[in-house]
Amino acid sequence: MRSVTPLSAVLICAAAATIDAGCHAPARGGEYATHTAASPPRAAVESCFLLFELGVGEVRRNPSEACRTPLTPASTFKVPHALAALDAGVVSGPQEQFAYDGTTPGPPSARRDHTLASALRHSVVWYFQHVAEGLGPEREQAYLRRFEYGNRDSSSGLTTFWIGGSLLLTPEEQQAFWVKLYENRLPIAASAVETVKGLLVQPAGVVVNAAGEQRFDEPWPDGAVVSAKTGSATDRSGRGVRWLAGHVVRGRRSLVFVSCVVGPPDLAANAAIDLAARSLRDARVL
């Protein structure tokens, strides 16, 4: 165990009416940090859901501006981060453990020692901030280029650039990354890819995030396997951003999905999870 020092496609798109919302500035603690209110902008709720069947391509498309809007990836970036950490040897494997410093804020699930496996499952921000320190700015930038990930901009801060910071990607770019992951086309060690894929598999009927198990269109069809990663943050403009990106295997079908909802900072925490559940059910995937 390492001891660490403290840190100080079906495409369904919808737009709702404009909502008054407070503007929140992102804090170092990450996507579950407390924010301080400032002047209230007007934020519209927009959503985007994409479904891409491997070996087939995009199944349907109903364009929306939200699907082409650059957004903070929040904790969906833990997936490329885990891949980079394994490929670079910053962590030796899924059971590499870092010690909780006892002071870093976060939900109860984060306030304990974590391995790569548990940190990815419970979306533990501080663990991946230590991964970022281990990689350093040059390797972070190099992996963003290798993955062709969004705008590839890590300039806003080594341990926060993916949480309401300079790194942005559109839902369409998120889909492209996950398609490359599940088509084994990322330019990194195959062992890193297979390890992360295994860690993303969710328990039957739920997806897990920092708040625990969230019901997800249960019961699933027999033999269905869902892999997924959540994300939640407030971006620089004060918008709340919610993600669920993932992969479903059902029989011979292999599909990548991306669900994203953007709105006021107090946007429902499970907005993207709920959108994905409805959309996968409507598409008869789950």
What pLDDT, on a 0 to 100 scale, did the predictor assign at position 220? 93
Render pLDDT for 133-178 as a digit per residue (tens, 0 to 9): 999 999 999 999 999 999 999 999 999 999 999 999 999 999 999 9
How far lies 130's CA from each of 143, 166, 272, in Å?
A: 16, 19, 27
Q: pTM of the entire structure?
A: 0.86
Which amino acid is it at 237? S
Which amino acid is it at 243? W
The yes-or-no answer on residue 75 being catalytic is: yes
Render pLDDT for 24-33 as a digit per residue (tens, 0 to 9): 333 333 454 4
Annotated active-site residue in 47, 75, 154, 227: 75
Report the Cα 54 to chain-centroid distance in Å.
20
Write the DSSP string, 86-120.
Answer: HHHTSS-STT-EE---S-S---GGGSS-EEHHHHH
Looking at residues 84-113, what average pLDDT do you find? 96
How far lies 286's CA from each of 194, 205, 207, 251, in Å?
A: 24, 10, 14, 11
Q: What is the dihedral of CA 187, 190, 193, 198, to 10 degrees?
A: 170
What pLDDT, on a 0 to 100 scale, did the predictor assign at position 1? 55
Q: What are phi and psi of 238, to 5 degrees?
A: 90, 5
